[in-house]
């Protein structure tokens, strides 16, 4: 199905390693988001982007980086500075200004 695609479904990170999670959408949405989902804590906003070549930090941006070179793509890099990276990561997109979000199926990141 089209919409918003996250890959891989499962990802493992070694100590000191950077890993990149992919998020692609074919909905022609301007805004894209990354959330981290931990049990009992709901979704916490990592980064969001309202247009190409622009992005803002969310509530827990430390240890993460993003880029938005294309409208369709919003990759998230989990750097070695993120000391507790094990979590479920969700990407979403929307048309601008508070409209509803469309979510991907998520990536489970674990530390080896």
Partner 1 sequence: AQRVTQPEKLLSVFKGAPVELKCNYSYSGSPELFWYVQYSRQRLQLLLRHISRESIKGFTADLNKGETSFHLKKPFAQEEDSAMYYCALSGQGNNDMRFGAGTRLTVKP
Binding site for partner 1 (CB under 8 A): 31, 33, 35, 40-45, 48, 50, 56, 58-59, 90, 92, 94, 96-98, 100-101, 103-105
Inter-residue contact 34 to 74 (CB < 8 Å): yes
Q: Could you tell me the smallest distance in angstroms from the CB atom of residue 9 to partner 1?
A: 13
d(CA 107, CA 69): 21
Quickly tell me which residue has 């500075």 as its tokens: 81
Indicate the residue among 19 and 90 with the shorter CB distance to partner 1. 90
d(CA 23, CA 89): 10
Quickly tell me which residue has 């992919």 as its tokens: 22
Indicate the residue among 13 and 44 with the shorter CB distance to partner 1. 44
Indicate the residue among 85 and 104 with the shorter CB distance to partner 1. 104
């Amino acid at each position: 199905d089209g919409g918003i695609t996250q890959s891989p479904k499962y990802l493992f990170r070694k100590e000191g390693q950077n890993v990149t999670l992919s998020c692609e959408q074919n909905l022609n949405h301007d805004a894209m988001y990354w959330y981290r989902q931990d049990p009992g804590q709901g979704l916490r906003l990592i980064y969001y982007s309202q247009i190409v070549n622009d992005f803002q930090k969310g509530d827990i941006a430390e240890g993460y980086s993003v880029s938005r070179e294309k409208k369709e793509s919003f990759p998230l890099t989990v750097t070695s500075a993120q000391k507790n990276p094990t979590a479920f990561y969700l990407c979403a997109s929307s048309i601008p200004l508070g409209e509803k979000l469309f979510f991907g199926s998520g990536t489970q990141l674990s530390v080896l």
